[in-house]
């Protein structure tokens, strides 16, 4: 998979399947399943590291987890999120952060949030340096406080026009794709039709060129999180709880380890 392949998928109308990932074991499973893009998202702050938002995630933490993902899925197109304050201050900061991402992890692209002129300036600087960039508009988690929480974006004429304008500006700046998060299906469909680059939706309806979900959410590892847009494709939290309880019970009752798990003396 390459950037050109993704553009061709949009042209043909082939949906693009994207999932987040943060470790080697799940990365292997995603590659075996044929996922088109793995996104090492800064969502790892909440679903892996236990932070209350994406804001505390550092560039070193992103690189650490991305290296693990690349070891597990070396043949899958992988995008790494640039975390909060690793690119917002200046084009130079963005270049240093994205350069480290590509040099140290082997990812094919990075993702950054926002579509204003500053974000577009960062995109232009990275693209000019040969670094593919995925954009992200609508609800942008790194601006959660400014947006007053997880809220659907683009409702109302002015808000919708801003999202359309930001998506077009990111395309003009050189993004090869753009994530649309928490926007109405109607608005996402309009943006998708207006862009020549693929849109990847999360909470943005079926008309986007592709879809992305946070893997632990999709696999039911985070049962307390149940937004409208989420479909669970497994219930791993339930299965894991049963397995752990079974292990504890067997150890307490001395049912484990059994003779079949115990090494005998050599003759």
Q: DSSP label at 77?
A: E
First to last CA, the chain: 55
∠ CA 149-93-124, nearest 5°, is 85
H or E stretch at 149: none
Cis-peptide, bond into residue 231, ω within 30° of zero: no
- The answer to whether 94 touches 124, Cβ cutoff 8 Å, is no
Cα–Cα distance list, 253 to 249, 261, 262 (Å): 6, 16, 16
Tell me the catalytic residues: 181
Task: Report the SS3 class of residue 49.
Answer: coil
Cα(108)–Cα(43) distance, integer angstroms = 19
């Amino acid at each position: 998979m390459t950037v050109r392949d993704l553009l061709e998928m949009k042209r043909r109308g082939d949906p693009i399947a994207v999932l987040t990932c943060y470790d080697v074991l799940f990365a292997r499973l995603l590659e075996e399943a044929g996922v088109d893009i793995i996104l090492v998202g800064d969502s790892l702050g909440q679903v892996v590291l236990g932070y209350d938002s994406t804001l505390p995630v550092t560039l070193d933490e992103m690189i650490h987890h991305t290296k693990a993902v690349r070891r597990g899925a070396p043949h899958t197109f992988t995008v790494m999120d640039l975390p909060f304050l690793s690119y917002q201050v200046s084009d130079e900061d963005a270049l240093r952060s994205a350069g480290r991402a590509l040099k140290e992890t082997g990812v094919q692209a990075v993702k950054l949030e926002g579509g204003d002129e500053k974000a577009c300036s960062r995109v232009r600087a990275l693209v000019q340096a040969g670094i593919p960039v995925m954009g992200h508009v609508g609800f942008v988690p790194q601006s959660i406080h400014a947006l007053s929480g997880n809220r659907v974006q683009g409702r109302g004429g002015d808000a919708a026009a801003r999202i359309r304008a930001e998506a077009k500006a990111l395309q003009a700046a050189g993004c090869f794709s753009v994530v649309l998060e928490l926007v109405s299906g109607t608005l996402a469909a309009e943006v998708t039709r207006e862009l020549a680059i693929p849109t990847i939706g999360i909470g943005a309806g079926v008309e986007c060129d592709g879809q992305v979900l946070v893997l632990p959410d999709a696999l039911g590892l985070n049962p307390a999180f149940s937004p409208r847009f989420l479909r669970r494709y497994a219930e791993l939290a339930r299965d894991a709880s049963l397995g752990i309880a079974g292990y504890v019970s067997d150890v307490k009752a001395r049912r484990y380890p059994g003779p079949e798990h115990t090494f005998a003396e050599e003759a």
